[in-house]
Amino acid sequence: MYNSDTPSRADLPKTSQLIRSTLIAIATAAVLLITVILPAEYAIDPSGIGQMLGLTKMGEIKHQLAGEAERDAMAVAAAEFSDPAITPDPVTEPIVETVPPVSDASTTPAEDAWRDEVVLTLKPGEAAEIKLVMNEGGIASYLWTVNQGHLNSDLHGDGSNGQSISYRKGRAEDEDTGELMAAFDGSHGWFWRNRSEVNVELTLRVEGAYGEVKRVL
């Protein structure tokens, strides 16, 4: 025996009511997709509401963080590929052998000897990327400094045949100087992100065997 009564046909919702409820649910989902999910997850804001609510900025930060994670993964893959037991190609040898850092100030070019200078201002959380177009074996001297705060950096290279390499990474640094030896033909340079709480003015000076300086990001 059951305590509850079986509903009558009159108590059941009509087909028109079910269709209306379904359409309302679909419309609500579409509105949420356009105004909330797309801006917050993918930085896509066709309605402009995401920008007003700050969701688009959230999506942009997620994309930047995903890019950094992808770079780290590529660096790990490049390090594994550089194992001499896998390939004897000297191009993929560890950075300690291919790109020795220049720590002695006496080996840094004089200020008037630099070929190019780039000055950028990065807000807190903002990123930038500068690349030198270089041929394999080419060497470029560099010096970058900031006026205040600090930056995270990744000195890396990308080749036209899908090659990639990470030469060095830095965390919370206010300067770095050295020599960059291109491991292969392609674009080689720096990715910086301002992880301090102040606007940072970054100055990069370079000199050596490269074709051009270009800003990627």
On whether residue 101 sits in a domain, the answer given is: yes
Q: Do residues 109 and 175 share a domain?
A: yes
Dig out the tokens for 82 from the structure.
Answer: 């550089």
Q: Do residues 204 and 171 share a domain?
A: yes
CATH code where residue 105 lies: 2.60.120.680
CA distance 182 to 34: 45
On whether residue 7 sits in a domain, the answer given is: no
Final residue of a structural domain among 88, 112, 134: 88
Longest dimension (CA), the chain: 98
On whether residue 45 sits in a domain, the answer given is: yes
Number of domains in the chain: 2
On whether residue 2 sits in a domain, the answer given is: no
Final residue of a structural domain among 72, 88, 104: 88
Which DSSP state fits 153?
A: E
CB 158 within 8 A of CB 77: no
Final residue of a structural domain among 44, 66, 88: 88
Characterize 158-170 residue by residue with b for buried, 16 or more Cβ atoms within 10 angstroms of its Cβ, and e for exposed. bbeeebbbbbbeb
Q: Which domain holds residue 117?
A: 92-215
CA distance 185 to 159: 6
Q: Do residues 69 and 111 share a domain?
A: no
Element (H, E) at 104: none
Q: Do residues 76 and 161 share a domain?
A: no
Q: Do residues 184 and 209 share a domain?
A: yes
Mean pLDDT, the chain, as a whole number? 80
pLDDT value of residue 103: 38
* pTM: predicted TM-score of the whole model, two decimal places: 0.51
Bigger pLDDT: 56 vs 192: 192
Residues 6+ apart with CB under 8 A from 209: 134, 135, 138, 139, 140
Q: Do residues 83 and 97 share a domain?
A: no
What tens digit of pLDDT does each residue of 152-200 get? 999 999 998 899 999 999 999 999 999 999 999 999 999 999 999 999 9
Positive or negative, the CA dihedral 37, 41, 44, 45 is positive
Give the CA distances from residue 125 to residues 32, 46, 58, 86, 117, in Å, rounded to whole numbers and listed in that order.
Answer: 27, 24, 12, 38, 23
Q: Do residues 37 and 136 share a domain?
A: no
On whether residue 31 sits in a domain, the answer given is: yes
